[in-house]
Amino acid sequence: MASLERITRRDNINDPTFTADNQLEFRATFTSDVSNVTADDFDITGVAGATIISVKSANQNDAQYDIVIEVPNLPAFTGTIGLTPSNAWDIIDAGDNSAVPTNVGRNLTYELVGTGNPDTTAPSITSIARQTPGNATTDADTLTFRVTFDEDVQNVDANDFVINGNTTATISGVTQVNGSVYDIVVSGGNLATFNGAVGLDLAAGQNIADIAGNTLPNGEPAIDEVYTVDNSLVPSLTSIERLTPATATTNSDTLVFQVTFSEDVQGVDATDFVVNGGSTASVTGVVAVNNSSSIYNITVSGGDLASFNGPVRLALAANQNITNLSNVAVPVAAPTGTNEIYTVSNETVPPTLLSIERLTPGTAITSDNTLVFQATFDEGVRNVDVTDFSINGNTTASITNVTAVNDRVYNITVSGGNLASFNGSVGIDLADTQNITDLVGNALPDSEPAKDESYTVSNTQGASSKLTVIAGNLLEITELGIAQSLNLTISSSVNVSVETIRIFTTDAKGKNRKQLGSFSVLEGSVLPVEYTPGFSLTKSEIATGTFFQFEVEEIDLKTNTTVIRTATITSVSATEVSLDFGNNTKLTTTLTNEVSVTNLLLNDAAAIDLTGLTGQSEVSFTVYREARLDNTIGFYVTDFADGRIIIDELTRATISPGEEGYKEAALAKQLNVQLTGENDKVTTFEATITNGVFLGTYVVIDGVDPSAGEVFFSHQGSGSFDQIRQAGINSFGVEDIIGGGDQDFNDMVIAFEVRAATA
């Protein structure tokens, strides 16, 4: 009969403090060959938390076994570590006799002196979290909390915890997940009927410690979750959703629905569901998702599904027996949320292209360099992209984008190439290589739709447009054609005071006049040659059959009287006329297909309107100066077009131009943009401005600092002289003498151009 002869260290006997990382090795020697030698046959003495990680025969000698143990924080350990036979000893010799667990020789131990810093830091609980079930509110009869420590601990059992709540349930289980994570099970008592909060706390007498023996202090973790137990809850079916295939319409002969319940349920199988909609297919598979007890994938297949046409729905069977974990039955009802179905189509009828229509622009004749068509099909289609269409016409433009409005309607964009200068017809056709199919794979045939619209692109200046002069003072747009704007440009002006040009629409007899716009003509003879003011009426303001009259209002500074003159109109060409106001002021008026710049000035340049723009804009300012004073122009934000500023966000109280305190309120909202200029020179500035607001203008007279100098505002207030006048599209002139001065409004003239900011 074999017996244990000795247990020795597997290190240099002359160096008993030998360690390899956190491991020590012993050798057990028997009097003869033995077997069934495992870690359970030995106990480690002298240290807590150590484990046997390896037991193997030495050099294929079944009479000797090497046993490796691992000790946490071994370099800091001081003490004696040994190995002895355990109570679970079941080693046998070659004759199947039990080996005698008696040391007849040496039993060497490790006498260790710590060489590192000993662990004196107490462990802590980082969280007590809900584990099973995962829902905060539940009617489950068994609750599992997961307790996580910041390091490996020992001595963890049911006595270390107490239940926080009025339930009579008890802690019925403690399971180690790893050295620092434990699952604590709460069950029994009145939990099956209890309603209220159930949490977990440390017991006052708990004796949990880390591996070094530092005890765990009592305290609450940062994360301390509880369950709200509600045994009045009734489980429910919350959703039925399509899973495979993902498309609503399909010809697949296997359909997978995903079913979700409000909580964990049990007893779920194929008999708990029925297939509705007329198909003879049935439920052929039920699989829980990722070990969940609340989400299941339900497979429908077989029957006539391979040839069926129609809806396929999934529903709970009338005799289903699904319950929650407390055995409360799930009622037979439709889902409380999403309830998706499949539309199965095994038809072989191909889709049809019903129409190709003009979308943007809406007119048949255009000079736009981007055209958008809309294609409509008789059913949902897929695989639709730019390669499925070709351009019908001699342009070198290409199809640059296809956007789905829905699965039946698509917008197709044509742009680029020579479209900006092209003249001719532009349409689209299906490409020879198109691969469009319906949602079940039936291919779209190559054919022309019943409705097939095209554009006539004309980039000839003024093509089909015509102006007609009536009685010398009335102008009619006889044919608008593809014209985009009516532009007015000053061709000559030697006026000695500011003139205001007013534009009116009238009836065919020059009656029923309505002012459409106005701008000021400054003393152009003293301004730089770069100053070329003008004004435009956009396409929204002009149309075929519109009549116009033009007049100038001039103030005679000597007599302080107002003189009004109506323009004499002379035809220059089919799309151009000359306006002569009889005082050496002449304007050229042209009907053009160039898109006019949007005028952002309101109320005779009192405000700049950026409310129609989003994001940021890059603004180029050009300053023309003819003044003795070194003035500075700046801008400020107002909340309303009339210059009012909200001064109390809670009450929405405002302050108006001219009221006491308006200067301070305006300057509190000024932009970091200031414009200056040298006399008789042109100066340019660039700025980035945030859109979506109204801007007012301020002028610092012969200075820079608006808070210290003399300032006037574009919003002057009632009874004040208007120091700023609109001088054309996005341009205005300034009179820098308070009260009017010489009223030439050319001391500084500002023109600006707005464009979208680049990234």
Report the pLDDT value the prediction gives residue 498, as an integer from 0 to 100: 59
Asked if pLDDT for residue 528 goes beyond 70, the answer is no
DSSP secondary structure of 334-359: --SS-B--EEE----PPP-EEEEEEE
What lies within 8 Å, CB to CB, of 754 at 6+ separation is 600, 610, 613, 617, 618, 619, 730
Token digits of residue 158? 């049911």
Report the pLDDT value the prediction gives residue 462, as an integer from 0 to 100: 46
Report the pLDDT value the prediction gives residue 15, as an integer from 0 to 100: 44
Answer yes or no: are the C-beta atoms of 346 and 308 closer than 8 Å.
yes
Choose between 532 and 599: higher pLDDT: 599
Residue showing tokens 């079916």:
237
Q: pLDDT tier at 18 (50, 70, 90 boundaries)?
A: very low
Residue 745, Ramachandran bin (φ over 0: left; ψ between -120 and 50: alpha; else beta): left
The string of pLDDT tens digits covering residues 177-193 is: 988 999 999 999 999 88
Report the pLDDT value the prediction gives residue 14, as an integer from 0 to 100: 41
Q: Region 289-314: what's the mean pLDDT?
A: 91
Percent of the chain with pLDDT over 70: 90
C-alpha distances (whole Å) from 536 to each of 485, 612, 653 are 6, 19, 37
Q: Region 197-222: what's the mean pLDDT?
A: 91
The string of pLDDT tens digits covering residues 86-112 is: 888 898 888 888 878 875 555 667 766
CATH topology of domain 601-756: Jelly Rolls (2.60.120)
DSSP 329: B
The hierarchical CATH code for the domain 125-230 is 2.60.40.1220
Q: pLDDT tier at 596 (50, 70, 90 boundaries)?
A: low
Q: pLDDT tier at 62 (50, 70, 90 boundaries)?
A: confident
Range of lowest pLDDT (312-321, 493-502, 578-587, 663-672): 493-502
Report the pLDDT value the prediction gives residue 291, as an integer from 0 to 100: 74
Asked if pLDDT for residue 583 goes beyond 80, the answer is no
C-alpha distances (whole Å) from 167 to each of 141, 180, 234 are 12, 28, 21
Distance CA 106, CA 387 (A): 88
Report the pLDDT value the prediction gives residue 234, as an integer from 0 to 100: 85
* Residue among 317, 290, 286 nearest 300 (CA): 286
Choose between 600 and 412: higher pLDDT: 412
The string of pLDDT tens digits covering residues 158-184 is: 999 999 999 999 999 999 998 899 999
Choose between 529 and 205: higher pLDDT: 205
CATH topology of domain 237-344: Immunoglobulin-like (2.60.40)
State the architecture of 466-592 in CATH terms. Sandwich (2.60)
Q: Region 107-130: what's the mean pLDDT?
A: 77
Report the pLDDT value the prediction gives residue 525, as an integer from 0 to 100: 45
The string of pLDDT tens digits covering residues 468-507 is: 999 889 999 888 776 667 787 776 665 545 578 889 998 8
Q: pLDDT tier at 742 (50, 70, 90 boundaries)?
A: low
* Average predicted confidence (pLDDT) for the chain: 85
Pairing of the two strands 209-210 and 153-154: antiparallel
* Residue among 434, 380, 385 nearest 407 (CA): 380
Q: By three-state DSSP, how is residue 621 classified?
A: strand
Choose between 463 and 251: higher pLDDT: 251
Chain centroid to CA 206: how far? 49
Report the pLDDT value the prediction gives residue 255, as an integer from 0 to 100: 96
Query: Start-end ranges of CATH 2.60.120.400 in the chain?
Result: 601-756
Query: Start-end ranges of CATH 2.60.40.1220 in the chain?
Result: 4-112, 125-230, 237-344, 353-457
Percent of the chain with pLDDT over 90: 41
The string of pLDDT tens digits covering residues 664-704 is: 999 999 999 998 988 778 888 899 999 999 999 999 988 88
What lies within 8 Å, CB to CB, of 736 at 6+ separation is 627, 629, 631, 699, 701, 702, 723, 747, 748
CATH topology of domain 4-112: Immunoglobulin-like (2.60.40)
pTM over 0.85: no
Pairing of the two strands 576-580 and 568-573: antiparallel
CATH topology of domain 353-457: Immunoglobulin-like (2.60.40)
The string of pLDDT tens digits covering residues 420-443 is: 888 888 999 999 999 999 888 899
**Count of all residues that appear for the chain in the document:** 759
Asked if pLDDT for residue 299 goes beyond 80, the answer is yes
Distance CA 591, CA 482 (A): 10
What is the number of H-type helices and E-type strands within the chain?
Answer: 1, 65
